[in-house]
A and B are shown apart, each in its own frame.
Chain A
Amino acid sequence: MIDFTIDESDELIRNTVARFAEDHIAAHFRDFESARQVPDAVINAWESLGLNGLELPDELGGSDSSMMTRALVNEALGAVDAGAALALDRIGAAVYPLLEMASTAEIREIITPLLAESSRRALLVYVPDGRVESEGKTCSGTMPFVHADHADLVVCLDRQRAWTIDTGFEFDKVRGSGLRAAAPSSLTFRNAPIRHYWENTKGAALSLARARIYYASLLLGVIRKSAEFSREYAKERVVFGKPVAHHQAMAFLITDMNTAVTSARLQIQYACLAGANRVEAAASAFAETAEQAAYIGPNGVQILGGVGFMQDYPVEKYMREARALGLLLGGIDAAKDDAETSLAAYQPIIAGVL
């Protein structure tokens, strides 16, 4: 069947998360940004929702949730504050290499202590370009940006392998182009001992695919909000005797931004449902979302004009964060590279089989 209906249970989770974000984050995101952290009260409220490690099996403390559920949760959070979302979700995308490459016993061993305490955090680091090298039993190198300033477990992922580290690394505060509520830092590994190690090209590709859906859906929230906020502003603000939005140049820009958001969302949803072509579909979804974000972010500011450039309005933050999120996991180029690998084996698509 062709059916775009969101499942009732997913709808429920999405609404719960959207309400949480509205109640606990929306009015304070500038404070979180300045403080480079989310206050304990908000963390406690988030923890009470029980949404950490959503994708983990029930018996390991998760909800066995699908990527569709994840995408909806992340869009809802990203639309309010993507930085806070990353700060709150203390398991985050680090769970994917575990789910795709580790045994159940290993996952249990790794995840149980993390879930037990709300101060404990895991962090996924994608290291395909030689920045961080694993040599035998240790790894070394520096990541110029990560969206955390502490972690109890770092999961490193490259194109063939994943490994975990729980000591031998340090975070150094960086200013952060965006996502400041997540405490942007650089991360340096100095002969950090490797605890768990998995080599599995397919598992690595699937882990990366899921991580791409994770970050693309956060990004989707950001660009959706940028498009919506600027649209509402343009309906209110009057120039040359009529609302900004009623000047055709602006009306067309606004409709194109709405279309761009939809394009990203549909690609993400498609990737969530994809089976055998999940790796390509997720890479395409990430590339599409990041590409549309590069269009929407600056135009969200443009529609507001001078005030858009000022920090009294959130569109400048959306612009910065739209770019920052789109650069994670190797950015558009890496996503396009991965999407392209399937072109040589391409089978002509027929109508309806995408």
Chain B
Amino acid sequence: MELNLPAAVHEEIEQLRDFGRSTIRPLGIERDKIGSPTPPDHEFFKTVLKRGLSKDYSSEDTRGLIGTNVLRILQANENAYWDRGVASSLPGPGLGAGPVMGMGTPEQRKRYMSIFGDPDNPKWGAFAMTEPSAGSDVAAIKTRAVKDGDDWILTGQKLFSANADRADWIVTWATVDPSLGRAGHRAFMLEKGMPGFSPPIPERKMGIKAYASASFSMDQVRVPAANLLGGEEHYASRAGFKGAMKTFNATRPSIAANAVGMARACLDEALKFAEETGNIKKPRMQDRLETMRRKIRSAWLMCLRAAWLADREEENIVEASMCKATAAEVAMQVTSLGMELLGLEGVRGDHLIEKLYRDVKAMDIVEGTGQIQRVIMARTLVDLPRD
């Protein structure tokens, strides 16, 4: 057993750290005050691409150095430390990367992933599953896909899709027949400008304001057969639903790592505050800070373990859900303790810890709530039936 980072990876994170301090955090604080996402034509996005800080690790061979998933969570941790909202706004395929790379045909992978290469022309992809009546219960999605000749006709509504307002394509989940349940699910590549696809509108959020969580509707959107992700053959038996779940599996440790990064940011700010106010030696203060650090460590070790298992292509169902459920709760607990340390300074609403307190709540909701993670773990641990 070993828990060390190769020097090259360490250097890469140090670079992220410099950029985070100089650019990501100030931008995150600015967008939080303004209350809306960073506009897509903001110079920041070109800067990010030129610095190579938005690369997609899923398409890189990093196995000689460190596993892809471990590297991804290191990046997720450090980025979120500086600002989770800004980190989620970075150009690239976003959550769409998993399904496109995991389910897409070679042609689809090339077509949809090749748009991200130009540093002067930031591009986004997106992923849309959640609906007004289907959040955690993803099997209950109502967006319909009806075959019409060689095309598909999509009708329905999607909520809270990250960066959908600026995305060239959105991996959009729909059902061909609600009576088939999960087996009826299909993923379509919905493209900007398709007739009937209303431009996604960013929602107003409590926190993580630097990126858009956008909602949109589809009214009889005609989608060519070539946009069915993976092609017809991919959806034999119940593989459709499993495709979506597979992407969640790969992303849970990343969301958990985001939460760890935010919790770390809070701990560092809390320590700074305790030092500055001369309270650091007070037993009650120390007790809280110790608890923060210890709980963050547990959550981070769980993330590393889940990502390490994914890199070994070993089952990580329980571990991925465990780190997601734990890290989100820890981050909430840590930022709440941070507010407690600040006292009324926190209630003023202009301290970073107060922002983190609002930001982290989302981590226990996105990609499956803490309760859903427990349901998933219970299916393995105690054979909890699916229905």
A-side interface residues toward B, CB under 8 Å?
1-7, 68, 231, 234-235, 243, 245-246, 248, 251-252, 254-256, 258-259, 262-263, 266-267, 269-270, 273, 284, 287-288, 336, 339-340, 343-344, 346, 348-354
Contact = CB atoms under 8 A, between A and B. Distances in A.
A255 B383 CA distance: 12
14 contacts: A1-B66, A3-B2, A3-B308, A231-B382, A245-B383, A255-B322, A258-B377, A259-B302, A284-B290, A287-B294, A343-B286, A344-B280, A350-B17, A351-B78
Contact of B1 (A6, A234, A339): A6
B378 A343 contact: no
Nearest to A235: B382
Given A2-B67, A339-B293, A351-B75, 6 more contacts: A2-B66, A243-B382, A255-B322, A267-B301, A350-B13, A354-B301
A245 B380 CA distance: 12
Task: Classify the interface of chain B: helix, strand, loop or mixed.
Answer: helix
Nearest to A265: B301
B384 A267 contact: no
Contacts of B304: 2, 4
Given A262-B322, A351-B74, A3 B1 contact: yes
**Central interface residue in B304, B305, B382, by most chain A CB within 10 Å:** B382
B383 A346 contact: no
B264 interface: yes
A128 B381 CA distance: 42
Contact of A267 (B1, B6, B297, B374): B297
Interface of B: 1-6, 9-10, 13-14, 17, 66-67, 70, 74-75, 77-78, 81, 257, 261, 264, 268, 271, 280-281, 286-287, 289-290, 293-294, 297-298, 300-302, 304-305, 307-309, 318, 322, 325-326, 371, 374-375, 377-378, 381-385
A267 B294 contact: yes
A1 B10 CA distance: 11
Nearest to A232: B382
B289 to A, nearest CB: 5
B2 A273 contact: yes
B305 to A, nearest CB: 5
The 7 A-B residue pairs with the shortest CB-CB distance in the complex, in nearest-first order? A245-B382, A351-B77, A266-B301, A251-B378, A351-B78, A263-B298, A255-B377
B333 to A, nearest CB: 13
Nearest to A263: B298
Contacts of B78: 350-351
Contacts of B14: 350
B300 A354 contact: yes
Nearest to A264: B298
Contact of A259 (B74, B264, B325, B375): B325
A97 B59 CA distance: 51
**Central interface residue in B6, B287, B298, B385, by most chain A CB within 10 Å:** B298
Contacts of A269: 1, 301
A278 to B, nearest CB: 13
Contacts of A2: 2-5, 66-67, 70, 304, 307-308
Contacts of A262: 302, 322
**Central interface residue in B264, B290, B307, B325, by most chain A CB within 10 Å:** B290
Nearest to B268: A348
B268 A288 contact: no
A344 B293 CA distance: 13
Contact of A234 (B81, B271, B308, B382): B382
A270 B302 CA distance: 11
A241 to B, nearest CB: 12
Contact of A351 (B13, B302, B375): B13
Given A1-B66, A2-B3, A263-B302, A344 B374 contact: no
Contacts of B375: 248, 251
Contacts of A339: 290, 293-294
A340 B285 CA distance: 10
A267 B10 CA distance: 22
A13 to B, nearest CB: 14
A256 B281 CA distance: 33
B382 A351 contact: no
Given A1-B2, A7-B1, A351-B81, A344 B300 contact: no
B368 to A, nearest CB: 13
B143 to A, nearest CB: 28
B305 A266 contact: yes
A208 B302 CA distance: 26
A4 to B, nearest CB: 5
Given A288-B298, A344-B280, A352-B13, A5 B1 contact: yes
